[in-house]
Amino acid sequence: MGRRAAGLALGTAALALAVTAGPAHAQVKPKKPAAAASAAAPAADYAQRFASLCAACHGANGRSDMTGTPALAGQHSFYAITQLFLFREGRRSNEAMTAVAKTLKDDDLRGFSTFIGTLPPVPPPAPATPTDNARMTKGQALAQQHKCLFCHGADLAGGQQVPRIAGQREDYLQMSLRGFKTGTRPGYTMAMTEAVSQIPIEDLDVLAYYASRFTPPAGK
């Protein structure tokens, strides 16, 4: 009994340590370019092309203040290429992005997405209004309830074809979630359409609020 209690206490301490170490590690982890990078497209070219073609809206570091424009900083190259593909194929529609994507060849999709995958996450600017803690608590509960963490991870950082949503712009998340629900925003797979189909709009908005302000817990 005594041994067991000691073990549990130690376990809890170890867990606290693990929680502390986890997010810190995640933040300093260097991002690897996609394994599928094409040898034909030197990365430097796409850094320059990103600066001239994408940065005006998305920001030079992959984050901007432009309404409805998602942060690309910290996004995964696999996710990025699936979205460029959907724009190019005319499945996902956005006037500006469709126009850009239509001009891209396969190598360009690889080059841009590989470059985007190298952009480190940029934290959101301090919100204009104080954070509504009750709304955050509700958002956290909804994220648990609706299994968001199953794919996006406990740190909401995503991976592979699953986007990072922690710190994403709230207006963009709100528009995306509503789009998945109403069917105007197709995904690369059916995962999001299925996941949000039963969630009321107001709860989707709370989720957008929560994820956009989410920072991984720093431990106690």
Partner 1 sequence: MKHVRAIAALTTLCCATLAAWAQQSPPPADEPGWAKGRPKSETAMKMAPVPAFPIPTAADQLPTKKFKLPPGFKVETYASGILDAREMRQGDKGNIFVSTLFVGNKVYALPEKAGADGKRTPKVVIDKTEQATGIEFNKGTLFFATNKKIVRYDNIEDKLDNPGEPKVLNDKLPGGSDHSWKFLRIHNDKLYYPIGAPCNICDPGEYAKIYRMNLDGSGVETIASGVRNTVGFDFDPKTGNLWFTDNGRDWFSEELPNDELNVVTQPGKQHFGYPYCHQGNVPDPEFGWGKSCDDYVKPAAFLGPHAGSLGLKFYTGKMFPAKYQGAMFIARHGPWNRTKKYADVSVAWPDGKGGARVEPFMTGFVENNSYLGRPVDFLVMKDGSLLVSDDHAGAIYRISYGK
Closest approach, Cβ 125 to partner 1, in A, equals 29
Residue with Cβ nearer partner 1 (165 or 196): 196
Closest approach, Cβ 172 to partner 1, in A, equals 21
Residue with Cβ nearer partner 1 (61 or 147): 147
Closest approach, Cβ 130 to partner 1, in A, equals 23
- Contacting positions for partner 1 (CB under 8 A): 7-8, 10-12, 14-15, 18, 35-36, 38-40, 78, 81-82, 85, 106-107, 109-110, 138, 140-142, 144-147, 149-151, 153-154, 159-162, 188-191, 194-196, 198-200, 203
Residue with Cβ nearer partner 1 (127 or 194): 194
Residue with Cβ nearer partner 1 (13 or 96): 13
Closest approach, Cβ 28 to partner 1, in A, equals 18
Closest approach, Cβ 63 to partner 1, in A, equals 25
- List the structure tokens of 153: 């991870």
Contact 181, 197 (CB under 8 A): yes
User: Of 138, 119, 135, which is closest to residue 127 (Cα–Cα)?
Assistant: 135
Strand partners, 162: 159
- Give, in degrees to the nearest 5, the angle at Cα 97 between 186 and 158: 55
Alpha carbons 31 and 119: distance in angstroms, whole number: 8
DSSP labels, 132-178: -HHHHHHHHHHHHHTTHHHHH-TTS--BTTBPP-TT--HHHHHHHHH
Closest approach, Cβ 26 to partner 1, in A, equals 12
Alpha carbons 46 and 104: distance in angstroms, whole number: 12
Residue with Cβ nearer partner 1 (1 or 35): 35
Which of 152-155's residues contact partners 24+ apart within 8 Å by CB, and which partners? 155/22, 155/23, 155/26, 155/216
Residue with Cβ nearer partner 1 (35 or 128): 35
